[in-house]
Structure 1
Amino acid sequence: MSDRELYCDTCGGVQPFETPPCADGHGVDCPELLCTGCGAAVLIATFTFRPARLADRRRPSAGRHAA
């Protein structure tokens, strides 16, 4: 079990959190953590985002100007 200190909303302060035994096979990389003070659970989620595609923008012609 790994330990780390995080803010616990239930306890109202920084508390040690530990990784519970993971039934999903994550081991120490399990995204679930439990507060050792009150038992509140938190989920640490990581997301991978693709870069946003910019819409094709047409450039104005060199001879045209907005009036």
Structure 2
Amino acid sequence: MSDREFHCDTCEGVALFETPPCVDGHGADCPELVCTGCGAARLIATFAFRAPRLEQRRRGARPAHRRAA
């Protein structure tokens, strides 16, 4: 199990959070954490960015601009 310190709203202070046994197969990279003091759950959101395609830039295509309403 992996341990990290975060602010816990229930404990009203910094507390130790640990990764519970993950049934989804994430292992130590599981995004779910549990406060060791009160048992409150915390989810760490992870996401990935797509890199811009080089072919579009080479052709001179410009990214679409958004307009304000």
Partner of 2:32: 32
Tell me if 1:8 matches 2:17.
no
Segments of structure 1 that go 5 or more residues without pairing to the other structure are 57-67
**Which entry has the higher C-alpha Rg, 1 or 2?**
1
Find the aligned partners of 2:32 and 2:44 in 1 and give their Cα distance.
6
Give 1:1-67 correspondences, 5 Å limit: 1-50=1-50, 54-55=63-64
Count of residue pairs the alignment pairs up: 56
Question: Identity of aligned pairs, percent?
Answer: 75
Range that drifts further, 34-43 or 44-53 = 44-53
Secondary structure of 2:38's match? Answer: coil
TM-score, normalization by structure 1 = 0.73
Amino acid across the alignment from 2:42: V
Distance apart, 1:48 and its partner CA: 2.0
| RMSD, matched Cα | 2.0
Structure 2: gaps spanning 5 or more residues: 53-61
Residue 28 of structure 2 aligns to a residue in which SS? helix
